[in-house]
A and B are shown apart, each in its own frame.
Chain A
Amino acid sequence: DTAVSQTPKYLVTQMGNDKSIKCEQNLGHDTMYWYKQDSKKFLKIMFSYNNKELIINETVPNRFSPKSPDKAHLNLHINSLELGDSAVYFCASSRLGLSEQFFGPGTRLTVL
């Protein structure tokens, strides 16, 4: 039983393309997150959604647009991909406000 799943696991694409990463959780949580881990392994939060509403936006470029169709899903769409977007993107979920977050396996994005 996968608690937090992400697709795809690997994504290789050219600069300028638009791509999406999908995340689903089956834990019944109401809060979901996207994190970015760069090549130096720094893990930083990008967005957080609670009940489909954006509650944290960490000054991420507006080329990144999260979308939450329902409480169990939080997708990340990235427009006009740049080299610097290459990273591992992790989705996570939790109950409202609690810090016990459950992370997905990550999506390794490589922009060529």
Chain B
Amino acid sequence: DAKTTQPPSMDCAEGRAANLPCNHSTISGNEYVYWYRQIHSQGPQYIIHGLKNNETNEMASLIITEDRKSSTLILPHATLRDTAVYYCIVRVELGFQKLVFGTGTRLLVSP
């Protein structure tokens, strides 16, 4: 699985967009980009994933660059409840492969 690089921490004001970057310069053609988050003391929660097109769901948007070497998770209107550690993971969609969690980005949303 390709390695990912994320900033250790970010701050965001409540109501503003939170843009969380992830570098995955060694990503393979069949690897997807996944985002999970872990709110304090809870189990990780799936957010979104994509291959090369931008994706949007009720939680967030995922923007993947054309060369697929980096991506950005966007929380359009961050709330205090979005304070969490956000993990960017790349892996193939199918098969008996594990999710490898890195150190993630700790996002702090403040009033």
Q: CB within 8 Å of B: which residues of A?
A: 4, 41-45, 48, 50, 55-56, 58, 90, 92, 96-106
Instruction: Indicate if the CB atoms of B41 and A106 lie closer than 8 Å.
Output: yes
12 contacts between A and B (CB under 8 A): A43-B44, A45-B98, A48-B98, A50-B96, A92-B44, A97-B97, A99-B49, A99-B91, A102-B46, A103-B43, A103-B45, A106-B42
B89 to chain A: which residues have CB within 8 Å?
99
B93 to chain A: which residues have CB within 8 Å?
97-99
Q: How large is the interface on B (under 10, 10 to 19, 20 to 34, 35 or more residues)?
A: 20 to 34
Q: Which of B49, B98, B103 contacts A100 (CB 8 A)?
A: B49
B contacts with A: majority SS: loop
Instruction: Indicate if the CB atoms of B99 and A4 lie closer than 8 Å.
Output: no
Instruction: Indicate if the CB atoms of B98 and A106 lie closer than 8 Å.
Output: no
If A97-B93, A99-B49, A99-B91 touch, does A4 touch B43 (CB 8 Å cutoff)?
Answer: yes
If A50-B96, A97-B93, A97-B96 touch, does A44 touch B101 (CB 8 Å cutoff)?
Answer: yes
Residue of B nearest to A56 (CB): B98
Q: CB within 8 Å of A: which residues of B?
A: 32, 34, 38, 41-46, 49, 85, 89, 91, 93-101, 103
Instruction: Indicate if the CB atoms of A98 and B101 lie closer than 8 Å.
Output: no
CA distance in complex: A4, B42 (Å)? 12
A102 to chain B: which residues have CB within 8 Å?
46
Instruction: Indicate if the CB atoms of A105 and B49 lie closer than 8 Å.
Output: no
If A48-B98, A99-B91 touch, does A104 touch B46 (CB 8 Å cutoff)?
Answer: no
Q: Which of B34, B45, B94 contacts A97 (CB 8 A)?
A: B94
Residue of A nearest to B97 (CB): A97
Instruction: Indicate if the CB atoms of B43 and A90 lie closer than 8 Å.
Output: yes
Q: Which of A42, A48, A100, A104 contacts B101 (CB 8 A)?
A: A42
Instruction: Indicate if the CB atoms of A43 and B45 lie closer than 8 Å.
Output: no
If A4-B43, A92-B43, A106-B41 touch, does A101 touch B99 (CB 8 Å cutoff)?
Answer: yes
Residue of A nearest to B34 (CB): A99
CA distance in complex: A104, B42 (Å)? 8
